[in-house]
Amino acid sequence: MVLAVLAGALMLPAACTVLEDRTKCECSLTLHFERARPGELYWMMVSDVPGREARYGVLEEGESLLDLELGRGNWNLLCVQSDSPAFLTAGGFSVKEGDAFPQLYAASLALKVFGGEVSDTVRLHKEHAVTYVSLRDLYSTDLSYEIVGSICGMGVDGRPLDGPFRTVLEVSERGLASVNLPRQGDSDALRLEIYSETDSRERSARTLVRSFALGEYILASGFDWSAPDLGDLSMEVNYTRTVVTAFPDEWHKTLDFSLSL
């Protein structure tokens, strides 16, 4: 009988005692994901315990449950659906200066994992604003057009991530372009910069011709950068008048605003 009891005890999983470092004890985490669109979902878990490695993974299309064994402590989850998952790093989702910002659907969740089984639901939201720009009388093949700012993505905590942002507009012959802008929070740093390009046998030169404070105009229009799902923008820019319009779609209502420059 004694041998039977000992054998049963040896088969039990190891448990933490009050004398052990409880951060090394693992807990069960189950997450249910609600996608914003079809496709793969990339996730990352970052712990506040020093030295603990981040966890990464992918949920294939059709999968909605994630089961993990995690060490005790506070964890931040960041999950994204994007055409450019390579932008997901330990610091969050971010683009390098000069890169175009992709369409991004994402969610961030702070998890307290301290015992037993933990479960939660993760809902992804639209984290980019598709911005349609009409340059009209400002368009010229001798000019280049760039949008610059101070937010380059989304942190693992879900907040706008500080960093240099610069993307070149691909402008059509009709003076039209579109660009994805990351969630800005209360930042008004976005600017449209227009440069003249000259090229000779001796050297190439680049001169700033005009700069427009797009961030200020967008905030003044009432556009809501804090909405759970970001709306889209339609913007007309010329030398005498700037119009910022958030047109009606499933994400946002209509707003109109104009400023004389």
> pLDDT tens digits for 222-246?
888 999 999 998 888 876 666 666 5
Contact between residue 159 and residue 92 where contact means Cβ atoms under 8 Å apart: no
pLDDT-above-90 percentage for the chain: 45
Distance of alpha carbon 168 from its chain centroid, rounded?
19
In the prediction, which pLDDT does 41 show?
A: 93
Q: Is the pLDDT of residue 2 over 70?
A: no
Query: Can you tell me the distance from the alpha carbon of 206 to that of 197, in angstroms, rounded to the nearest whole number?
Result: 5
Average pLDDT score over the chain: 81
Task: Give mean pLDDT, residues 3-22.
Answer: 39
In the prediction, which pLDDT does 106 show?
A: 96
- Compute and round to an integer the Cα radius of gyration of the chain: 24
Q: Is the pLDDT of residue 9 over 80?
A: no
> pLDDT tens digits for 148-185?
999 999 999 999 999 999 999 999 988 899 999 999 98
Nearest-CA neighbor of 90 among 74, 76, 104?
Answer: 76
Which pLDDT band holds residue 12 (cuts at 50, 70, 90)? very low
Nearest-CA neighbor of 28 among 69, 89, 84?
Answer: 69
In the prediction, which pLDDT does 85 show?
A: 83
Q: Which residues of 208-238 are buried (b: 16+ CB within 10 A; e: fewer)?
A: eeeebbbbbbbbebebebeeeebbbbbbbbb
Given CA atoms 85, 40, 80, 101 in this order, what sign does their dihedral have?
Answer: positive
In the prediction, which pLDDT does 95 show?
A: 95
Q: Is the pLDDT of residue 104 over 70?
A: yes
Which pLDDT band holds residue 254 (cuts at 50, 70, 90)? very low
Range with the poorest average pLDDT among 1-15, 91-105, 129-143: 1-15
The residue among 84 and 138 whose pLDDT is bigger is 84
Query: Can you tell me the distance from the alpha carbon of 236 to that of 133, in angstroms, rounded to the nearest whole number?
Result: 6
Q: Which residues have C-beta within 8 Å of that of residue 241, sequence separation ≥ 6? A: 258, 259, 260, 261
Nearest-CA neighbor of 145 among 167, 173, 174?
Answer: 167
Q: Is the pLDDT of residue 199 over 80?
A: no
Contact between residue 232 and residue 129 where contact means Cβ atoms under 8 Å apart: yes
In the prediction, which pLDDT does 13 show?
A: 39
Where is 162: in which H helix or E strand? Answer: strand 160-168
The residue among 256 and 43 whose pLDDT is bigger is 43
Nearest-CA neighbor of 130 among 259, 229, 31, 17?
Answer: 229
In the prediction, which pLDDT does 247 show?
A: 52
Query: Can you tell me the distance from the alpha carbon of 206 to that of 112, in angstroms, rounded to the nearest whole number?
Result: 52
Task: Give mean pLDDT, residues 81-105.
Answer: 91
Q: Is the pLDDT of residue 137 over 80?
A: no
Rounded to 10 degrees, the C-alpha dihedral 56/62/64/67 comes to -50
Task: Give mean pLDDT, residues 55-66.
Answer: 92
Query: Can you tell me the distance from the alpha carbon of 169 to that of 186, in angstroms, rounded to the nearest whole number?
Result: 23
Query: Can you tell me the distance from the alpha carbon of 238 to that of 242, in angstroms, rounded to the nearest whole number?
Result: 6
Instruction: Quote the tokens at residue 252.
Output: 């946002």
What's 53's DSSP letter?
Answer: P
Which pLDDT band holds residue 139 (cuts at 50, 70, 90)? confident
